[in-house]
Amino acid sequence: MSGANDAPRQLIVLGDSGVHGWGDREAGGWCQRLRLRWMNLPNAPVVYPLGIRGDGLERVAARWRSEWSCRGELRRQTPGGLLLSVGLNDTARVGRTDGRPQLDVEAFSFGLGQLLNEMTQELQVFVLGLTAVDEHVMPFAGCLWYSNSQIAATEAVMAEQCREADVPFLSMHQEMQQEPDWLTWMEPDGIHLNADGHRWLDQRLGQWAPLQEWAGLAALNTSTPISMQTRPAAATNVWLS
């Protein structure tokens, strides 16, 4: 008879529409792809995708603790790990290309630093960087202007805060734009990934050593190369331990 200590670890994935899997009509998004892959591996952690469309840093900060306090398996325990994927919505400028961002870089940096300080006192945290956008089809929803320069600045402070908090961080923005076909990985709205984009991100996660080692899957890692081309490419990560 199995005891409580035999229960698998849980990985909570918090974030926005990217975590939700918006745009991937083939497999439900990178987080769903991760969940299904781990489900087929012995002793892999259980993945709980908790992405909400439109969420930014402040909304995630307001809900992160309550996400497991009311859920059956998690109600009486803290999950083993938390993968945070948020920030893209915070970079959007409202109304015009030089409008005020939803959350400016300094405020985002301060808020993320506080959030990581709280989270790391309770569980192992991992943070994903931000994907690129197709600026040529802006504005999104008729009023939100996303730019790669604002995204790059925001991802830079994410990396810095993760370094300060000793949290593993996987950069995305520059790496994605270095892929020759990255614009074909975008939905027509210019900000959401399509199935190819979600596949690329999932492959990066599949070769990210910090997450694989935490999950106890490093020896089982047989992921295909990250590049969507024939050339091999290793995952670029900032292993901040």
Domain contains 207: yes
Return the structure tokens found at 195: 């199935």
Peptide bond into 168 cis (omega under 30): no
pLDDT band (50, 70, 90) for residue 101 = confident
Q: How far apart are the first and last CA of the chain?
A: 37
Assign 11 to helix, strand or coil: strand
Q: Give the helix ranges, DSSP H, for 89-225.
A: 105-119, 148-165, 173-177, 195-206, 209-214
Q: Is residue 240 part of a domain?
A: no
Distance in angstroms (rounded) separating the CA atoms of residues 223 and 220: 9
Q: Evaluate if residue 234 carries a pLDDT over 80.
A: no
Give the total number of structural domains in the chain. 1
Angle of helix 105-119 versus helix 148-165 axis, rounded to 10: 30
CATH classification at residue 133: 3.40.50.1110
Tally of CB atoms within 10 A around 111:
18
The reported pLDDT for the residue numbered 65 is 87
On whether residue 231 sits in a domain, the answer given is: no
What whole-number distance in Å separates Cα of residue 240 and Cα of residue 120?
A: 13
Taking all residues of the chain, what is their mean pLDDT, rounded to a whole number?
87
Instruction: State which residues form the domain around 205.
Output: 4-220
Is position 18 within any domain?
yes
Residue 225 in any domain: the answer is no
Whether 237 is covered by a domain: the verdict is no
As beta bridge partners, residue 85 has 15
Q: Is residue 168 a contact partner of residue 220, using CB atoms and an 8 Å limit?
A: no
pTM, 2 dp: 0.86
Residue 240 vs residue 159, higher pLDDT: 159
Residue 201 belongs to a domain: yes
Range with the poorest average pLDDT among 46-55, 93-102, 119-128, 225-234: 225-234
Q: Give the pLDDT score at 79.
A: 83
Residue 198 lies in a domain: yes
| 168-224 confidence digits (pLDDT tens) | 999 999 999 999 999 999 999 999 999 999 999 999 999 999 999 999 987 655 444
Lowest mean pLDDT among 30-34, 40-44, 54-58, 229-233: 229-233
| Overall average pLDDT of the 56-61 stretch | 95
Tens-digit pLDDT profile for residues 118-161: 999 999 999 999 999 999 999 998 889 999 999 999 999 999 99
